[in-house]
Every structure is written in C-alpha cells, then in structure tokens.
Structure 1
Amino acid sequence: MLTEKQIDPLIEEAFNESDAFVEWFLSKTKFRGIDAKCVWSRSDHPWGRFTFEISDPNTGATEQITRDSETDVLVVLEGTTGKRFAFHIENKLAGGHFTLHQPDMYKMRANSWLNDDKFGDYDDFETVLISPLAFYKNNIEAAKPFDRYISYEEASIFLPELSENCVWPI
C-alpha cells in the first residue's frame, strides 16, 4: 500500500502530464467545461499560517484561532481566457482521520491564499477530498465542508496505483 506522501505527487503529476485526467477532474467540479492547463502545482504540502473564526459547538461562542496548516496538493489551472483557479486537495487513506478543524480550514486557507503569487495567483478555487470510498463513508459528516469528493476507486482509472489503496468491493 502507498502512503499519502507517495500518492500526493502522483496526483500532481496527473495534472501536469495528462490532459485526459485534467478534463475528467474538471468534469467533477464547478469548473466543468473549461479548457484549462495546469500552470502551477505543489504536492509538498504547502504550509501557511492564518487566523480564522470558528464556532464552539458546545457554547456557540465564536473563537479566533491562529494555526499553521497545509494543503496536501495545490494545483492552479489557467483557462483559455487567462483566468486562474485552484484545487486545494486533501488526500486521505482508508484508515486515516481528520485533525481538529481540518476540513473547515481548507476553505478558509484557500480564501486566504487568493491572488497570492506565492501560491499560484489564483482568483477562484474549490476544495476537494480524495480518498477511498471506505474513508468517506466513515467520515461523511466531517467531510461536508469540502466542495467536492472524489474516490480513489473512480480516480484509479487515471491513477492505477490508487487501486492498491482501495477497499474492494465498493
């Protein structure tokens, strides 16, 4: 079985090397139908510090938290109009788990990196969870903050290496 850190560069490579993968991936998002190419990417877990507000589930009070956090795979694509958009991808294995506030932080971090040259200068984004279906089924409520979910099982058409991390049958 592959580790998350072995899978992340495979996802990044697919965005850079396979037009068919890019078209398929886009078809799963709000960017479907856009002809775009990957112009910037990182799968080395780009980190950033940002401050965000979150509601305490017990008291309902809003608290401000400053935290360092990462995006597993960040890809920026550019359409034929010159518009850039990004995917902030969280990759999880079947037995993985989310850290405290991790799903919520993805969208907040993506917003804080908008139009930043350091992170590919994008002006729109989606957050995407990619994992085996088994992980998603066990974490469906916690995964709701992500804009999209893509299973290893369906992505293995383009990334056959993911098959060894799938829990068959689905």
Structure 2
Amino acid sequence: MREAELDHAFAEGLERSPHLRTWLLAGGRFARYARTARLMQAEQAAARKAAHWWKHWWCTMPDGTQGETDIFAVFEDPSAGRFAIHVENKPPHGVLGYAQAAAYRRRAAFKANDPRWLDYRDFETVLLAPAAFLEAHGECLRQFDRGIAYEEVAEFVPLFARGAAAGSS
C-alpha cells in the first residue's frame, strides 16, 4: 500500500463524507466545531495550481529549511473563523525522525495568519499511522497534537484497513 494512495483516500473521504469530517474534528481540539465547520476544499483548490487541493503545500521556513504537509485541510466555522488540520501520514514501514516530527508544528505555526495558506487562525497537527507505529514512535508522536490510528480511520475509509494490515505481515 503506497502512502500516496492512503493520502488520497483520506482527503477524498474528508471531501465526500460529513461523517469522517465530524469524527476527525470531534476527536481533537476543534471538537466544539465538529458539526458546524465547513471544509474549504474549493478555496484551497482555487488558491494555487495543483492537481489536488490538499497535497503539496510546501513552505520555506525563515531558517531556509523546506517542508510540506502530507494532507492540509482548512476549515471555517461561523463563530471560530478558520483553522487548519496538518496531517503527517506514515504507513507501516514508514520512517519518521524526531526532527521531521518536530518540524510539523513549526510549519503549521509559520503558515498561520497568512493568506497564502488561507489565513487560518489556529491549527492542529496529526500523525496518521497504524496503531503499532504510533505505539513504537511515542517520542515523535508527542510532537503532534494527537495521533490517529489507521484502524480507526478504516471505519470511514476502508482502504486504511488494508494499510494497517500491510504492517502486520
């Protein structure tokens, strides 16, 4: 199972499934907006020329380092304004170093309050991986706001059941 396939399936699920969107938001720091926030995929698609609204949101940090977010989703709530979810997806045999994990929050903070990234005001960082990966990479996981296991996502996006099973073979 390729990481890109899982990225695409998750983003497509966000776009098409109100249940997945509500579940994703309800489990994190934006829980109170889970039923009222709107995914801004059309605005993300219009903001730049790219094949997918959620993919390849690169930035160059003030120190010159560059990085991207695997899945970048901006939401807008009538009372809260805009907020973003930055998802790092790691398949079963993926590699995640401490520096990469720590950079996620820095990039999310750097992109906040900037029209190039839809001027979101707040954010959450998420590590998406099989449960065994999350367990084995606790120090890296702590650099994110939370971890979400493939096994949980599989309830909404069946492809993630295959992604999780690939790690147990």
Match of 1:50 in 2: 61
Structure 2 counterpart of 1:77, one-letter code? F
Moved more, 77-86 or 153-162: 77-86
Gaps of 5+ in 1: 52-64
Alignment of 1:9-28 (within 5 A): 9-28=8-27
In 2, the alpha carbon distance for the partners of 1:143 and 1:37 equals 27
Deviation per residue, 1:48-95 (Å, 9 max, x gap):
1103xxxxxxxxxxxxx5311110000000112260100000000111
Cα deviation, residue 43, structure 1:
3.2
| Bigger share in helix | 2
**Which of the numbers 125, 134, 138 marks the counterpart of 2:136?**
138
Measured after TM superposition, the shift of residue 100 of structure 1 is 5.4
Deviating runs (4+, > 2 A) in structure 1? 40-45
Aligned counterparts of 2:145 and 2:86: Cα–Cα separation in 1: 10
The C-alpha deviation readout for 1:6-64, integer Å capped at 9, x for no partner, is 1112111122111111111111101102111101353322111103xxxxxxxxxxxxx
TM-score normalised by L of structure 2: 0.85
Count of equivalent residues: 155
Deviation at 1:160, TM superposition (A): 0.5
Among candidates 86, 90, 101, match of residue 92 of structure 1: 90
Structure with higher Rg: it is 1
Are the aligned partners of 1:8 and 1:43 in contact in 2 as well (CA < 8 Å)? no
**Counterpart position of 1:109:** 107
Aligned with 1:86: secondary structure? strand
Question: RMSD between aligned alpha carbons?
Answer: 1.7
Normalised TM-score (structure 1): 0.85
**Could you tell me which residue of structure 1 aligns to residue 7 of structure 2?**
8
- Structure 2 gaps of 5+ residues are 45-52
| Matching residue of 1:56 | none
Q: Percent identity?
A: 32
